[in-house]
């Protein structure tokens, strides 16, 4: 394994290194398994060109003692099928209308990175993964300039893992047999879309805090939206504002929750399994949905808010429920209800 030092300082750099390389020169000479390491303060501007990676490489930047990053690649990157690539201590950045990182069937890891696009006119995603790609983002920050942008990270038949990472104004779209797992993730300041949208895919959320910013004009966007998908959540906060759902299920989706805080939950033709859950506003089951809850806690709120609403041939069984109400709990059943049992 060889290490290629890239930077602006053209001098001998560390023992055993005889050259400081230009970025393109280092890439051309590197072989599978090599490391391209950037000197402190190095900024690579790709311009209008797309940098295509077709080797198994590690790109390592520089981090100061205070945790700030000093090295960046500005432009768009494509990692092609079958290659394994890692970025560490790097800023991956752009400010025009294009995708920053595209992963086509490759294995990509971002560790201690910042990925962002501050273009106010950008309609593209920050990261797009498809064709059975494997993407892992850890100990990083993903940031955009606009609360009103659409999907920021998008997968199509791919696997996405995000750990110990801050998502600022970031929307995740997982589709067509994709898998997404969020662990120790904080996601906030999303408006005009969902924080997580899944269609025919699987999502796991653990030890995380995912919160939307409520109503945008006349539009209401649930924090997590499932369409023919599954969600398993544990020890997490799924929040929203303005009486907008934090979890929305439809078309035979399944939600399994353990020890979560849920602002508002609505299931349409779907299944819900709750254990040790706290619900701020309402648990809604409709369109032949079914639900089972063991130890569910409904927080105190005004009498105008319904705790439980089950309607349209839905079935709900609750074991051990606590209602923090000054008045009687507000439990309602609608027409064609099959059953509601609370013990």
Q: Rounded distance, CA 90 to CA 112, Å? A: 7
pLDDT of residue 215: 75
Which pLDDT score, from 0 to 100, does residue 29 have?
A: 94
d(CA 98, CA 244): 31
- Position 307 scores a pLDDT of 81
Which pair of structure tokens corresponds to residue 231? 């969600």
Q: What pLDDT, on the 0 to 100 scale, is given for residue 243?
A: 86
Give the pLDDT confidence of 228-269 residue by residue, as tens digits.
999 999 999 999 988 899 999 999 999 999 999 999 999 999
Asked if the model's pLDDT at residue 20 lies above 80, the reply is yes
Rounded Cα–Cα distance for residues 116 and 152 (Å): 10
Read off the pLDDT band of 19 (50, 70, 90). confident
Residue whose entry in the numeric block shows the structure tokens 């893992």:
161
Q: pLDDT category, 94, cuts 50, 70, 90?
A: confident
Beta-bridge mates of residue 187: 167, 210
Task: Quickly state the pLDDT bin for 15 (edges 50, 70, 90).
Answer: very low
Q: What is the pTM of this model?
A: 0.90
What are the tokens at 158? 């791919």
195 near 214, Cβ under 8 Å?
no
């Amino acid at each position: 394994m060889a290490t290629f030092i890239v930077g602006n300082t053209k001098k001998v750099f560390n023992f055993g290194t005889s050259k400081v390389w230009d970025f393109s020169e280092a890439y051309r000479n590197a072989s599978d398994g090599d490391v391209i390491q950037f000197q402190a303060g190095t900024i690579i501007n790709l311009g209008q060109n797309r940098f295509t990676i077709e080797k198994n490489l590690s790109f390592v930047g520089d981090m100061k003692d205070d945790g700030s990053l000093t090295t960046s690649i500005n432009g768009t990157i494509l990692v092609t099928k079958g290659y394994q690539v890692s970025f560490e201590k790097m800023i991956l950045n752009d400010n025009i209308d294009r995708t920053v990182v595209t992963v086509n069937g490759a294995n990509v890891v971002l560790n201690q990175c910042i990925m962002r696009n501050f273009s106010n006119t950008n309609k593209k995603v920050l990261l797009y993964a498809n064709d059975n790609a494997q993407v892992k983002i850890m100990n990083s920050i993903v940031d955009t300039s606009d609360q009103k942008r659409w999907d920021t990270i998008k997968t199509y038949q791919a696997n996405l893992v995000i750990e110990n990472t801050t998502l600022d104004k970031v929307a995740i779209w997982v589709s067509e047999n994709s898998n997404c797992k969020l662990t120790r993730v904080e996601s906030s300041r999303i408006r005009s879309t969902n924080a997580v949208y899944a269609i025919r895919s699987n999502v796991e959320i653990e030890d995380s805090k995912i919160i939307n910013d409520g109503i945008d004009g006349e539009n209401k966007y649930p924090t997590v939206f499932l369409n023919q998908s599954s969600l398993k959540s544990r020890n997490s906060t799924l929040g929203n504002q303005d009486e907008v759902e934090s979890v929305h299920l439809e078309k035979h989706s399944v939600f399994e929750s353990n020890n979560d805080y849920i602002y508002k939950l609505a299931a349409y033709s779907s299944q819900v399994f709750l254990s040790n859950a706290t619900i701020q506003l309402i648990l809604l089951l409709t369109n032949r949905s079914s639900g089972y809850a063991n130890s569910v806690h409904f927080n105190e709120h005004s009498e105008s808010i319904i705790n439980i609403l089950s309607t349209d041939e839905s079935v709900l069984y609750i074991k051990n429920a606590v209602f923090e109400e000054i008045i009687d709990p507000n439990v309602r059943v609608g027409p064609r209800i099959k059953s509601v049992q609370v013990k």
